[in-house]
């Protein structure tokens, strides 16, 4: 008789949903270096099992290191491979191994926790000694320790390229560079322990159109590689071993979502005009060059924000002028007859490119980021501006500077732009000298001087992700204070209004390209505030178009008159949500 199959119990975990969709694939649990391993009690009789696991992990790590050494010898020769001799010594270091064994006997807890504690203490001691050789050894020890811990935990290294199976990524945290490397045909979603809705990692998930959940604390300790999981990016749920009933339920939900998508497909070719005839331009945010194909397919009117920094991530050297020109030209052609708004490099904050020179900063979001970096590194800035000016000779390209805080920065950036035009002209290289220049409004000081700025630019695009972060002083990445990150805070609505009013008084248009533009619960407010353009992740454009077409701009303006007098952000949100529900309930989750 066959043995009964082991019953797998369904378990559910709740996090914060940041990208919609449902995915059902095996988990790929990443181990990252900053992950802290929690202690777990181990009874006396199981200690020998812990020691055996430790020995096996040391052996596996030794085999891995020898294999890397072998590959390096065959690729570049024995000299460079000798750097791994120091790594190999670590797995044989008797002092370290004995201390772990003593720690196990003393603390009776899981060996990975004891090992991590011992390694941390070891490294702290070495770091405090004034000897460059010993300090260098700290790096070797940390690298080997990561390998040993991964082997103990049975987890994968954070190297998405190394996994050929379809999966859902489970990680403590993911940087935008990690996420940008995902292979869409293999990675069907991700769940992280920390993170926030407006981090660039979450923004990328929406671009990649994969469900994503953040803030699921402790999840990397709960799952093992290969476990059967389903993630629900609408509700922020992760379900381990989903039961038959759960799978049937999710099959039904997916079918409903498909029906909504089919209905939206039908309005693709229509214009984004309110019921009473006000046109709201609807454009796409492009985060990765691969997204270009979707612009027209989703019915967007060109690109309102091309985040060029992703061309600079995950590479040894910055892209040359010619390489950037090819990207921008291709993007501009994909948008025709509509415009492509190229945002100049917004590097810094949570996007650090190893190809660019960066000094460590205590507060990178308040530091040398975006236009500040470019003005400090004119060679990098000029390379990009020349490439954009050349592409503008072919397509309908506009330039947008990020993080402008006042008029001096704008004028300095424009002065460099003029120098680039002169350089191209003297070299006889074709370009468009009349390219339109606009700025992002994402710093409160820019809002307060929007009347000055409006006289010297052709458009404003409000970056609400940063505007909220800098106005309410709430780190957009910090999940502990996510409840303070509030788009309907009365101050934010007033700032959007001040910007729009300054734009109108000076005859220029104002758009919104932050994530607020994607939230269809807030569309009534943005239309009522007088915004002329909304730019959002390409996949979300059809939903926003449907929302715009369902609303009456006069009613939105009355709503705004009412909420501008209100002091409670939740009550304001509720008012906007009520109008959204009244007009397009089927789209509100």
Catalytic residues: 200, 513
* Cα gap 494→233, rounded to integer Å: 32
Least separation in angstroms between CB 349 and ligand PEP: 7
**Number of residues this chain uses to bind ligand PEP (CB under 6 A):** 10
The values of phi and psi at residue 214, to 5°, are: -120, 175
Selection from Mg ion, ligand PEP, none that 27 binds (CB < 5 to 8 A by kind) is none
- Taking the CA atoms of the chain, what radius of gyration do you get in angstroms? 27
Least separation in angstroms between CB 442 and Mg ion: 5
Considering only CA atoms, which of 569, 576, 536, 531 is closest in space to residue 555? 576
Select 200 or 327, whichever has its Cβ closest to ligand PEP. 200
For 534, counting Cβ atoms within 10 Å of its Cβ (0-12 exposed, 13-18 middle, 19+ buried), the class is: buried
Region near ligand PEP per CB under 6 A, out of 14-22, 214-222, 256-264, 462-470? 462-470
Considering only CA atoms, which of 126, 157, 136 is closest in space to residue 60? 157
Select 346 or 519, whichever has its Cβ closest to ligand PEP. 346
Encoding tokens for residue 471? 């106005």
Least separation in angstroms between CB 392 and ligand PEP: 21
Region near ligand PEP per CB under 6 A, out of 253-261, 412-420, 443-451, 461-469? 461-469
Select 298 or 535, whichever has its Cβ closest to ligand PEP. 535
The partner residues of 212 in beta bridges, in order of sequence, read 19, 190
The verdict on 346 binding ligand PEP (CB under 6 A) reads yes
Least separation in angstroms between CB 116 and Mg ion: 36
The single-letter DSSP state of residue 368 is S
Q: Which of 298, 464, 486, 499 binds ligand PEP (CB under 6 A)?
A: 464
**Number of residues this chain uses to bind Mg ion (CB under 5 A):** 3
Could you tell me the maximum CA-CA distance found in the chain, to the nearest angstrom?
Answer: 87
Residue 538's alpha-carbon distances to 187, 282, 295, 311, 518, in angstroms, are 19, 10, 6, 18, 10
Considering only CA atoms, which of 240, 239, 190, 181 is closest in space to residue 215? 190
Q: Are strands 167-171 and 156-157 parallel, antiparallel or unpaired?
A: unpaired
Q: Which of 463, 487, 503, 524 binds Mg ion (CB under 5 A)?
A: 463
Select 514 or 542, whichever has its Cβ closest to ligand PEP. 514
Least separation in angstroms between CB 163 and ligand PEP: 28
Q: Which of 232, 466, 519, 532 binds ligand PEP (CB under 6 A)?
A: 466
Encoding tokens for residue 551? 């609303």
The verdict on 409 binding Mg ion (CB under 5 A) reads no
Encoding tokens for residue 194? 């920390």
Interactions with ligand PEP, residue window 306-335 (CB under 6 A)? 307
Region near Mg ion per CB under 5 A, out of 335-343, 406-414, 436-444, 518-526? 436-444
Least separation in angstroms between CB 515 and ligand PEP: 7
Select 301 or 442, whichever has its Cβ closest to ligand PEP. 442
Interactions with ligand PEP, residue window 506-565 (CB under 6 A)? 513-514
The values of phi and psi at residue 400, to 5°, are: -135, 125
Q: How open is the CA angle 269-207-26, to the nearest 5 degrees?
A: 120
Q: Which of 302, 463, 503, 530 binds ligand PEP (CB under 6 A)?
A: 463
Select 61 or 538, whichever has its Cβ closest to ligand PEP. 538
Selection from ligand PEP, Mg ion, none that 513 binds (CB < 5 to 8 A by kind) is ligand PEP
Which residues contact residue 467 at a Cβ distance below 8 angstroms, ignoring those fewer than 6 apart? 441, 442, 443, 444, 447, 492, 495, 514
CB 466 within 8 A of CB 443: yes
Region near ligand PEP per CB under 6 A, out of 55-63, 142-150, 459-467, 578-586? 459-467
The single-letter DSSP state of residue 481 is G
Q: Which of 432, 465, 537, 583 binds ligand PEP (CB under 6 A)?
A: 465
Interactions with Mg ion, residue window 372-401 (CB under 5 A)? none
Select 513 or 548, whichever has its Cβ closest to Mg ion. 513
* CB burial readout 441-468, b (16+ within 10 A) else e: bbbbebbeebeebbeebbbbbbbbbbbb
Q: Which residues in this chain contact Mg ion in the complex, by CB under 5 A?
A: 442, 463, 466
Q: Which residues in this chain contact ligand PEP in the complex, by CB under 6 A?
A: 305, 307, 346, 442, 463-466, 513-514
């Amino acid at each position: 008789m066959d043995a009964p199959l082991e019953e797998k119990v369904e378990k559910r975990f709740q996090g914060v949903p940041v990208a919609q969709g449902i995915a059902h694939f095996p988990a790929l649990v990443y181990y990252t270096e900053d992950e802290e391993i929690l202690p777990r009690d181990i009874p006396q009789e199981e200690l020998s099992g812990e020691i055996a696991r430790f020995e096996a992990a040391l052996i596996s790590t030794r085999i891995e290191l020898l294999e890397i050494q072998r590959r390096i010898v065959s690729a570049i020769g024995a000299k460079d491979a000798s750097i791994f001799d120091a790594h190999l010594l670590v797995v044989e270091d008797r002092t370290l191994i004995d201390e772990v064994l003593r720690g196990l006997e003393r603390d009776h807890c899981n060996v990975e926790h004891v090992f991590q504690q011992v390694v941390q203490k070891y490294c702290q001691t070495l770091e405090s000694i004034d000897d460059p050789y010993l300090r260098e050894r700290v790096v070797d020890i940390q690298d080997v320790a990561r390998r040993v811990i991964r082997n103990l935990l049975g987890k994968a290294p954070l190297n998405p390229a190394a996994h050929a199976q379809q999966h859902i990524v489970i990680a403590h945290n993911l940087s935008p560079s990690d996420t940008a490397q995902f292979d869409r045909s293999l990675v069907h979603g991700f769940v992280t322990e920390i993170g926030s809705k407006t981090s660039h990692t979450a923004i990328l998930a929406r671009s990649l159109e994969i469900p994503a959940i953040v803030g699921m604390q402790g999840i990397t300790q709960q799952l093992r590689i290969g476990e059967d999981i389903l993630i629900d990016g609408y509700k922020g749920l992760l379900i381990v071993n989903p039961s038959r009933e759960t799978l049937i339920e999710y099959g039904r939900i997916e079918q409903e979502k498909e029906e909504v998508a089919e209905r939206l497909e039908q309005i693709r070719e229509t214009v984004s005009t309110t019921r009473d005839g006000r046109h709201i331009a609807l454009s796409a945010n492009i985060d990765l060059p691969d997204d270009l194909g979707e612009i027209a397919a989703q019915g967007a009117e060109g690109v309102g924000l091309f985040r060029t920094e992703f061309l600079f991530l995950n590479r040894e050297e910055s892209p040359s002028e010619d390489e950037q020109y090819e990207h921008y030209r291709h993007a501009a052609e994909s948008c025709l007859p509509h415009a492509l708004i190229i945002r100049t490099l917004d590097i810094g904050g949570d996007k650090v490119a190893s190809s660019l020179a960066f000094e460590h900063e205590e507060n990178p979001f308040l530091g040398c980021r975006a236009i500040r970096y470019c003005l400090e590194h004119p060679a990098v800035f000029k390379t990009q501006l020349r490439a954009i000016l050349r592409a503008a000779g072919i397509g309908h390209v506009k330039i947008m500077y990020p993080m402008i805080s006042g008029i001096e920065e704008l004028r300095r950036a424009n002065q460099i732009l003029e120098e680039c035009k002169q350089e191209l002209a003297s070299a006889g290289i074709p370009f468009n000298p009349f390219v339109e220049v606009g700025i992002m409004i994402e710093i409160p000081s820019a809002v307060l001087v929007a009347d000055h700025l409006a006289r010297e630019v052709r458009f404003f695009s409000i970056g609400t992700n940063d505007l909220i972060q800098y106005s309410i002083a709430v780190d957009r990445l910090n999940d502990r204070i996510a409840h303070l990150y509030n788009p309907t805070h009365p101050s934010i609505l007033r700032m959007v209004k001040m910007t729009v009013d300054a734009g109108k008084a000076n005859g220029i248009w104002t758009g919104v390209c932050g994530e607020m533009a994607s939230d269809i619960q807030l569309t009534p407010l943005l239309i009522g505030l007088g915004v002329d353009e909304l730019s959002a992740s390409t996949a979300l454009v059809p939903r926003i178009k449907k929302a715009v077409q369902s609303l009456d701009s006069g009613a939105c303006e009355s709503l705004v008159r009412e909420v501008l007098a209100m002091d409670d952000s939740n009550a304001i949100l509720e008012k906007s949500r009520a109008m959204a529900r009244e007009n397009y309930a089927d789209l509100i989750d």
